[in-house]
Amino acid sequence: MSRASRLLELIQVLRRHRAPITGPALAEELGISIRTLYRDIATLQAQGADIRGEPGVGYVLQPGFTLPPLMFSADELEALVLGSRWVAVRGDARLGAAARNAVAKIRAVLPGDLRESVDAATLTVPMFRGEPVAIDVSVIRAAIRAEHKLVITYRDNDGAGTTRTIWPLLIGFFDKVLVLAAWCELRQDYRAFRVDRIQSVEPRDERYPRRRAVLVGEWRVRQNIPATAGN
């Protein structure tokens, strides 16, 4: 087992144990010497892992530690890079820039062999653009995160325009269009809005009265979407 794999396994073991676990028990589970264990714990602590404890007492990992990208396997990196490149092509300007920045940050901390796998681009995304969007989609994304209402002007399939107050829930990315799922106060029901038909969007500094997670659950039931599907 490589050192990187061993450190990853140590983190996973600590995550499984909410109560402190002794050094000898950790060493036995990992199949390493107690001396190697102490060195590995010191290494992880130096990398920012909040591991509390000491020899003879036991160790526990506090919540919040995320693994550095160098811990990713080649397949995991390909999945992350492919997803980021897809977002860079299909997302709005801010989301696309964030995706490119994420790939650059991952690449910057990788060892040479894994950095080459990122640069090789064995998987790619077609440079395809969908229907043009007139609004800043990041405004919708911010409202979804904050669970705030939006006022939109919307053009339907026949070209007729309406002004609506909605509770934005999810944005679906399809081949040619983005679709916003929301509760519509005008219709008093869940509705799907093609984002390219939204003519204007105005955020309201007002939370909608029910939690987004509950509303999304109801929407999934209406759409016959399993609860385990992507959020």
pLDDT digit string, tens, across residues 113-145: 667 767 766 677 777 667 788 999 999 999 999
Tokens in use for 62? 């506090």
pLDDT over 60 (residue 24): yes
* 97: Cβ contacts below 8 Å, ≥ 6 apart: none
Measure the CA–CA gap between 200 and 15, rounded to whole angstroms: 46
pLDDT over 60 (residue 9): yes
Cα end-to-end span (Å), the chain: 35
Contact 44, 88 (CB under 8 A): no
Contact 192, 181 (CB under 8 A): yes
Contact 179, 190 (CB under 8 A): no
Rg (CA), the chain: 23
User: Is the pTM value of this prediction over 0.85?
Assistant: no
DSSP 68-133: -GGGS-HHHHHHHHHHHHHHHHHS-HHHHHHHHHHHHHHHHTS-HHHHHHHHH-SS-------S--
* 168: Cβ contacts below 8 Å, ≥ 6 apart: 140, 143, 144, 150, 180, 181, 182
pLDDT digits (tens, 9 = 90+) for 179-211: 999 999 999 999 999 999 999 999 999 999 999
